[in-house]
Structure 1
Amino acid sequence: MTADDDRRFASPPCMAADIAPEYFDQQQPNDVARWRRAERARLHAARQAMRVEDRRAAGEALAGHLRDLLAARFGEMRDRVVSAYWPINGEPDLRPLMADLHAAGATVALPLVEVKRSPLVFRHWSPATRMVRGDWNIPVPPDTAAAVTPEITLAPLMGWDPAGYRLGYGGGYFDRTLAALSPRSVTIGVGFQAARLDTIHPQPHDIALDFIVTEAGLQVDRDAP
């Protein structure tokens, strides 16, 4: 058997992502989906294992870096519309930053699912908002809260890579939302430094974020020359 025969009939190795990234990324979406499920489970377990005080300190540092980025990129926050998120499953807690943005005159919104497998809807939030339970029991503003379109969207990350791609929870809601927003908002991924991956093996439906911020500072700036 010749070397050409070997190449023609050999099965792709389990390390195909390292040996032939183009095979893994473009031609084997089922392999990518399995890999992502495993990575989500691993990263979620690592995040849940963080000590409470470490998670709190990381969240405070991250919020400080976000304040610096918002000031440098947007300046005055008055009348800006900023979508944040309500923390679940050990995500960085940005609620103090949300309150500060509200006090600075920004309109703060939270995303929620109104229709399954459809883009997210954003409702106005303030520290006085009486929250209700939405999908997955996540607190969300009530139906009476005004719907808004965010200019800036803060997106929690399960994982992230240096190209700006986000590994989320697997429902696809965030990518659908970005694709539907017109004009598209400036997107800032928010996560822990330990959640960095070499790549998420982006697929055609994945949309890169504009910035990624962790407790270690600004990690991705796709506006940079």
Structure 2
Amino acid sequence: MPNIIHIETSTSVCSAALSSDGVVQCHFESFDGPSHASLLGAYVKELMTFARDKSIRVDAVAVSSGPGSYTGLRIGVSEAKGLCFGLGVPLIAVPTLELLACTTLFKNYFEEDVLYCPMIDARRMEVYAAVYDNALNLVAPVEARVIDENSFADLLATRRVVFSGNGAAKCKEVIKHENAIFVDGIVPLATDMLALAERAFREKRFEDVAYFEPFYLKEFVATTPKHKVL
């Protein structure tokens, strides 16, 4: 199995990991807020030191590709590209919502055939969301949704839907349906990227390091202060 460095910076959580032979060998993560710029470089440096000490040759770099935080994604992808150029290894993109769905599926067991709807918070009642089946096939495409009481009504009418991610928490009081299941505590982490990254490596699904960009979904809009400082 390949040796892969995994980078995840799509939300306020910053994490990085090194896997070898399908097992996480070393990892770092912070849940203390968006401090990716100051933490990620140090995490990667520690991972590379660990790899050299253990004589582990890095075969690829995997990065969470979005959607998510514009700044977080930009920092993560920039770090991943730098590693790929420096090490001469391929780049693997792991879709953030697919990662969340995979994590939810692996960490929870449901007897019946359910659908998985990971959500990333995108201000107010808007979320970035998609719907996957048990085989991680897309049932509903990745898109920005404004959540109300009728959201996902067509799917909920016939199937149980498992909602997870930091966008799902604010939807509990809005989506009131007996087929809606809310799972807490699911965040995108580098340590959970192994299965998707290794599958992409086996299938040789690599990105063009020079031209790859994160999937922001929505354009970044800079805001200006309402009051000028004199």
TM range (shorter): under 0.3
Q: TM-score, normalised by structure 2?
A: 0.27
More strand by share: 2
Q: Which has the higher contact order (CA 8 A, sep 6+)?
A: 2
